[in-house]
């Protein structure tokens, strides 16, 4: 979880920018994607992700998104209120952080598969000469 601590440190270093009314929301999202997200996502492709860690990542991302999008005016009560998680997901059109981690993990597994090491990665042991996954086509796909 040290990556999340590093992400928190980055978040706290730019939180004034994220809550500034002088910056457009798309710039704030760019700051999140360029400065905070790479620190948090570094190395997650290879690590196991528990449900507890997934929840912590969702909480972290929702906290950052609440800072970016601010509060909303509630017409019924006439007060400012916090955005709910569903509203944050609607406003932030990109994939959530857990989905990004899982897609990167699948991309990593695909690269390993392409190198012929997939048998080892997916629990099969060492590859031997007789293990045959199929021929490669011109565009690099495996023909079974």
Residues 83-128 pLDDT 10s: 888 888 888 877 788 888 888 777 777 766 666 554 454 555 444 4
CA 123 to chain centre: 26
User: What's the domain range around 58?
Assistant: 2-143
Q: Which residues contact 122 (CB under 8 A, 6 or more apart)?
A: 109
Domains held by the chain: number = 1
pLDDT of residue 84: 82
Integer CA distances (angstroms), 41 to 65, 106, 116, 140, in order: 17, 14, 26, 28
pLDDT digits (tens, 9 = 90+) for 7-43: 889 999 999 999 898 999 999 999 999 999 988 888 7
Question: Could you tell me the pLDDT band of residue 129, with boundaries at 50, 70 and 90?
Answer: very low
φ, ψ for residue 32 (rounded to 5)?
-60, -45
């Amino acid at each position: 979880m040290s990556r999340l601590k590093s992400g928190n440190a980055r978040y706290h270093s730019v939180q004034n920018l994220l809550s500034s009314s002088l910056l457009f929301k798309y710039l704030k999202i760019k700051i999140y994607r360029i400065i905070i997200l790479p620190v948090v996502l570094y190395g997650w492709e290879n690590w196991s992700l528990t449900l507890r860690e997934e929840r912590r990542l969702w909480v972290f991302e929702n906290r950052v998104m609440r800072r970016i999008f601010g509060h909303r005016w509630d017409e019924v009560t006439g007060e400012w209120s916090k955005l709910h998680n569903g509203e944050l997901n609607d406003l932030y059109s990109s994939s959530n952080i857990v989905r990004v981690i899982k897609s990167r993990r699948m991309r990593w597994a695909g690269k390993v598969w392409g190198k012929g090491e997939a048998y080892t990665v997916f629990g099969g042991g060492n590859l031997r000469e007789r293990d045959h996954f199929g021929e490669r086509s011109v565009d690099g796909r495996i023909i079974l």
